[in-house]
Amino acid sequence: MISIAEQLKDLFSQALVAFMGEEGRNVDPLIRPAGEERFGDYQSNVAMSLAKRLGAKPRDVAAKIREHLLAEPTATELCESFALAGPGFINIRLSAGWMAGQLAAIPAAAPRGADRLGIEPVAAPQTVVVDYSSPNIAKQMHVGHLRSTIIGDVIARVIGFEGHRVIRQNHVGDWGTQFGVLCAHLKEKMPTALDRPADVHLADLEAFYREASLRDEEDAAFHERARAEVVALHNQDESTLRAWRYIVDESRRHYLPVYQRLGVLLTQADERGESFYADRLADVVAWFERARQITAPAGLFPDGAMLRVEESDGALCIFFVTASGEPMFKNPQGKPFPMIVRKSDGAFLYATTDLAAVRFRVFELGADRVIYVTDARQAQHFEMVFTAVRAAGWTSREAGSAEVKLDHVTFGTILGEDRKPLKTRSGENVRLADLLDEAVRRAEAMIRANEADPDKRRGFSEAEIRDVAEAVGIGAVKYADLSQNRQVDYVFSWDRMLAMEGNTAPYLMYAYARIRSIYRKGAGDNRGEWSVESGDRGQATEDRKQATGVVITLTEPAERMLGRQILRFAETIESVAAGLRINLLTDYLYELAGLFMKFYEQCPVLRAGTDEVRASRLRLCDLTARTMRSGLDLLGIRVVERM
Ligand code: ARG
C-alpha cells in the first residue's frame, strides 16, 4: 500500500501533465487533509498557486484540472468526487468502496515490530546514521539524557520502518582530560579493580566522579599524577588503559539496563564513543591546517563565504567568514567566534572529534544522511561542524555524488512544576533510573487501587500487576515527552502523564486493551479471526489466521471515519519522517483511539444486524488494534492485552 496522500499526489500530477504538459510534473499538487469534514477528505490548493503563473483565473484552472481528473479511471475509482470550492480549491472525497477494498487487502498480522500493515518500504533506501543518547561516561544517566535517548530511538525506528538502513551510533563521551583524573583516582582508591574488574563494582558512579574531581582541585600532587595519566592514556599505557576500560565498563553497567527498561534499542554494539576517533584527530586537524583557506562550494552556504584556519593564542581555530569579511558566528561580545580544533597545549576537543566522526560516517559507514539528536544548546556547535565539513567536501563521497544530508534534531528542556529545569528537592539532577522507578511505582499504585474497586477490578495476578505497571509507568513517561512538539520546553507532571483520559499512554493502552477484548469476544464465537498477539514477552505465538474473505463495508459515517484514519497511518509516518516530528504520530494515535470509541458507540460490533456487518466491524477492530500496536511500537511503547 502507498499512502493515500501519495496516491492523490500522483493522480494530480498526471492531471497537471495532461493540463499543462511536461512541466506539470514539477508542480506540487499541494494536497492536504481537508480542514473540515463537510468539505471532503482532502483538498488541493494547486489551482491558486498556478493561476498567476498561467495568467488565468484560479477557478478556471481548478475546473480544467478537475476535468482531467474525471477523465482518469484510477482517479474516479479512488475518489467519489472532486468539487470546486471557494476561489479555486478542489475538494476531494474518497470513495468508501475503494477505502474498504484497501483495508480488506491489508495482509495478515505479523509479530510485533514487523507488522507493516501493508505499507510498502521506500523505493530508494538510504543509509542513515542516527547519533543519539550519547551520555558522558562515568556519570549516572540523569533526566537530561531522557529526551535524546527516546526521541533518537523513535527517529531510528521510524526511518527503519520506512525501509532505510539505519546505523545507530551512541557517541558516548569516553575520552578527555577527565579520564586522567578518574584513572589516577581509581588506581589509588581501588587497585583491585584493575586486577579483578569482573568482581569489583562502583555502586555510585557519580560519587566516585565527584571524589576524583574534588581531589584534582585540592591536591596539587594528585593533579600532576592525573595529568600524567592523560599522557599515559594517549600512549596506550597498559595499566592506564585497564583503568579506563574498567570505568567505561562500569558506566555501561549503569546505562544498558536503563535502555532496556526504556525499551530503547541501543545495545553495546551501537557504541562508538569519542575514544574511537582519538587516533584520527591529528589527521583531521592536519587536513585543515594544510588547507589554510577554503572557499565553500556554491549553494552550500552564503556565496563566497569561506573558512580560514588560523592560530589564535596558540590554539588552532577555524574562522567562518562571509564574502564581505563578516564573521558567520559571533560571541556575545560580537567578536568572531571560531571553532577551536586544537588547544594551545596540543589537546583536541569535542569539535575535533565530531569532524572526524562525520568523515568516518560518510566514507566508512557510507551514510547518505546523519541525524544528531541533542538539546538545543548544541545548535551552534553542530552548525559549525556541518559548515566546516561541507566546505571541506566531506559530505560528498565522490565528485558529483549527492550531498550527504546532515540534520541536527534539537529539543527543549524538561521543567519542574516551578518551570525551572527539573531537579530533585535537594536541587540535584534527577537520576533517570530513579525517575523510572517512581513512574512504575505510581502506575502500580493506580492499578492496585483499581483492583480494590469492585467496578474496576480485572482480577490480575501479582505478576500481571507488576507487568502492567511497568508497561504503563514507562509508557507514560515516554509518551508524555514524545507527544510534545520537541522544540519546546515542557513541564513534567505525574498526574497528567498517568491520566486515563486525554492524550496519554494509559488512555491509548487502555483503548488498545479494550479493542482487543471486544475482538476476543468476537473471535470467541469461534470465527477464528483474531490476528493480533502482543507477543511482547516472546511467549505468545502469532495466530496467523486472518480474516481472509471478509468483505469490509464503510456505510456508517463512524465506520468511514475510522477506516480512513487506519489508512492514514502510512502518510502519518511519511510526515513524521519528513520533519522528524514525532508528535504527529502521537496526535494520529490519539485521534485513532477517539474515532474508534465513536465507532464503537455508534456501530454495534458483536450485536451487529447481520453476520456480514459483524465480520466487517470485527475486522475494523482488528485493524485498529494492529495500527495502534504498530504506532506505539514505533514509539517504543509496549502494549498489554488486558488493562
Ligand atoms: N556526549 C555529548 C553530551 O552529553 C553528546 C554527544 C552528541 N553527539 C555528537 N556526535 N556530538 O553532550
Could you read off the pLDDT of 216-265 as tens digits, one per residue?
999 999 999 999 999 999 899 999 999 999 999 999 999 999 999 999 99
**pLDDT cut 90: percent of the chain above it:** 83
CB count in 10 Å sphere of residue 207: 11
* Cα dist from 460 to 409, 508, 642, whole Å: 41, 20, 9
Among residues 285, 334, 330, which one has the least CA distance to residue 310?
Answer: 285
pLDDT at 381 over 60: yes
The answer on 342 and 282 residing in a single domain is yes
- Model pLDDT, residue 206: 85
Residues 177-208 pLDDT 10s: 899 999 999 999 998 888 888 888 888 888 89
* Closest ligand 1 atom to 173 CA: 1
Report the separation in Å between the CA atom of 81 and the middle of ligand 1, taken as the mean of its atom positions.
52
Q: Give the pLDDT score at 471.
A: 98
pLDDT tens readout for residues 539-579: 333 333 344 578 999 999 999 999 999 999 999 999 999 99
Q: Is the pLDDT of residue 535 over 50?
A: no
Place of cell 572526524: 356
Mean pLDDT for the chain? 92
SS3 173: strand
Query: Whose CA is closest to atom 6 on ligand 1?
Result: 134
**Could you tell me the pLDDT band of residue 296, with boundaries at 50, 70 and 90?**
confident
The CATH number assigned to the domain holding 390 equals 3.40.50.620
Helix (H, G, I), strand (E, B) or coil at 209: helix
Domain that includes residue 542, residue range: 108-120+499-643
Residue at which a domain ends, from 242, 265, 288: 265
**How many Cα atoms sit within 13 Å of 480 on the Cβ side?**
23
Domains: count for the chain? 4
Examine residue 138 and state whether it is found in any structural domain, yes or no: no
User: What pLDDT score does 524 carry?
Assistant: 63
Rounded Cα distance between 210 and 140, Å, is 12
Cα–Cα distance measured from residue 376 to residue 564, given in angstroms and rounded to the nearest whole number: 37
Residue 440 CA, ligand 1 centroid: distance in Å: 29
Query: How far apart are alpha carbons 212 and 377 in whole angstroms?
Result: 27
Question: How many Å apart are CA 127 and CA 368, to the nearest integer?
Answer: 5
Q: Do 380 and 518 fall into the same domain?
A: no
pTM: 0.94
Q: pLDDT by residue (tens digit) across 370-380?
A: 999 999 999 99
Q: Are residues 211 and 296 in the same domain?
A: no
Mutate to test the pocket of ligand 1, among 145, 350, 353, 378 (most ligand atoms within 8 A of CB): 378
Within 8 A by CB and 6+ apart from 60, the residues are: 51
Taking only the tens place, the pLDDT of each residue in 411-441 is 999 999 999 999 998 888 899 999 999 999 9
pLDDT band for 324, please (50, 70, 90 cuts). Answer: confident
CATH number at residue 58: 3.30.1360.70
Do 636 and 509 lie in one domain? The reply is yes
The pLDDT value recorded for residue 401 is 84
- Predicted local distance difference test score (pLDDT) of residue 545: 38
- Segment 589-611, tens digit of pLDDT: 999 999 999 999 999 999 999 99
Q: In 3-state terms, what secondary structure has residue 304?
A: coil
Specify the DSSP class assigned to residue 225. Answer: H
Kindly state whether residues 504 and 629 are assigned to the same domain: yes
Tell me, yes or no, whether 241 and 339 share the same domain.
no
Largest Cα span, the chain? 87
What are the pLDDT digits (tens) for 116-146?
999 999 999 999 999 999 999 888 888 989 9
Looking at the fold, whether 382 and 244 belong to one and the same domain comes out as no
* Ligand 1 atom at shortest distance from the alpha carbon of 375: 12
Residue 546 phi, psi dihedral angles, 5° rounding: -125, 170
Query: Amino acid identity of 451?
Result: E
Q: Name the residue with the closest Cα to ligand 1, atom 7.
A: 134
CATH code at position 606? 1.10.730.10
CA of 250 to the centre of ligand 1 (A): 19
Residues 516, 637, single domain; the answer is yes
Shared domain check, 233 and 334: no
Supply the residue whose CA is at minimum distance from atom 11 of ligand 1: 354
Cβ-Cβ contacts under 8 Å for 416 (sequence gap 6 or more):
422, 423, 491, 492
- Residue 410 confidence (pLDDT) above 50: yes
Distance 464 CA to ligand 1 centre (A): 38
Position 300 pLDDT exceeds 80: no
**pLDDT classification of 21: cutoffs 50, 70, 90:** very high
pLDDT at 139: 84
Q: What is the pLDDT of residue 140?
A: 82
Measured in angstroms, how far is the CA atom of residue 397 from the centroid of ligand 1?
24
Task: Name which of 585, 572, 131, 120 is nearest 369 in CA terms.
Answer: 131
Residues 570 and 600 in one domain: yes
**How far does the chain reach from its first CA to its final CA, in angstroms?**
32
Collapse the DSSP code of 555 into the 3-class scheme (helix H, G, I; strand E, B; otherwise coil) and give the result.
Answer: coil
For residue 373, being part of any structural domain is answered with yes
Q: Is 415 exposed, middle or buried (0-12, 13-18, 19+ CB in 10 A)?
A: middle
Percent of the chain's residues with pLDDT above 70: 95
Cell for 304? 563566497
How far away, in angstroms, is 374 Cα from ligand 1 center? 7
pLDDT of residue 522 exceeding 90 = no
